[in-house]
Amino acid sequence: MSEITHRTIATNGINMHIAEQGEGPLVVLVHGFPELWHAWRHQLPALADAGYHAVAPDVRGYGRTDAPEPVEGYSMVNMTADIVGLLDALGEETAVVIGQDWGSDIAWRTALLYPERFTAVVALSVPFMPRPPVPPIQMFKQIFADTFMWILYFQEPGVAEAELEADVRRSISVMFYAASGDAPRGSGMPAKKKGAGLLDGLPEPRLPMPWFTEADLEYFVGEFERTGFRGAFNRYRNMDRDWEELPQLADAKVQQPALFIAGEHEVMPTLFGTDAMREHVPNLQDVITLPGCGHWAQQERPVEVSTALIQFLKGL
């Protein structure tokens, strides 16, 4: 069996670190916040064994991939172009794109903007959300006027960075535990007032978890201690810019075959619903719910997720 290998490729004006394994049709695995290529450590060998070339990048702003200084460098226009440039760098015309968390949103938008390059799409944790009628940050400010909302908290450069970078080990530990299926139900998003910090009110982690070893924690901590969280938060700071730059996505439909996977305790489908996803993704093949699982589906339930991915890919 082949091993996971690492290299750096040039895409869309940046240097991107990728982890890859296997040979065959290309499958691109896009991580979310606050993760890295390492979030796909179980899927890379599983997909390789099934006959695919599995590639998991550190997306821009994370890990060993470049982190441009301008906030606007993290717009969805750039994030999707990075993935297309990855295909070009590998000499591939088409691929299947799979994402989790922010990676899901990148995967959905990549499939919409470049339908000729991406033959299918899989999203974990975050369902397809259509373009809202008004810029999303403006909308969130009205809805969550006096209530803490993480996306609004991330908007002011430097604020969330200072909180999470004060103790990266504790920040990673708390975030991963609180949003997992191992934490008490509902503890990942406690009700709190505007002005609170992200970590305020979250339960103290019980580590290690069966799916998140000390070695896994060390890898994430080491990378974020080196890079900080600026690049990660800058993705959130482009949501209104994305709305303005991509008006063509209003009422757009993902026509490719699609699959959605989420943990039973995942909050995103509850917050944003799946009805709009079914309406805007007419070729949605299945919605899979993983019992007892939280936000980190491919890490918490690696066998189930890998099996579902391979079954979907083989059916294309």
Pairing state between β 95-100 and 118-124: parallel
CATH 3.40.50.1820, applies to 5-314? yes
pLDDT score of 56: 99
Distance separating alpha carbons of residues 93 and 259, to the nearest angstrom: 22
Which residues carry out catalysis? 101, 295
Q: Output the CA angle 42-43-49, nearest 5 degrees.
A: 105
pTM over 0.85: yes
pLDDT score of 291: 97
pLDDT one-digit tens code per residue, 252-263: 999 999 999 999
- Residue 181 neighbours by CB distance under 10 Å: 22
Residue 187 has pLDDT above 90, yes or no: no
pLDDT score of 306: 98
Confidence class of residue 2 from pLDDT cuts 50, 70 and 90? Answer: confident
pLDDT score of 268: 82
Helix 102-113 × helix 76-89 angle, to 10°: 70
Q: What is the average pLDDT score of the chain?
A: 96
For the chain, the structural domain boundaries read: 5-314
Distance separating alpha carbons of residues 196 and 150, to the nearest angstrom: 10
pLDDT one-digit tens code per residue, 39-78: 999 999 999 999 999 999 999 999 999 999 999 999 999 9
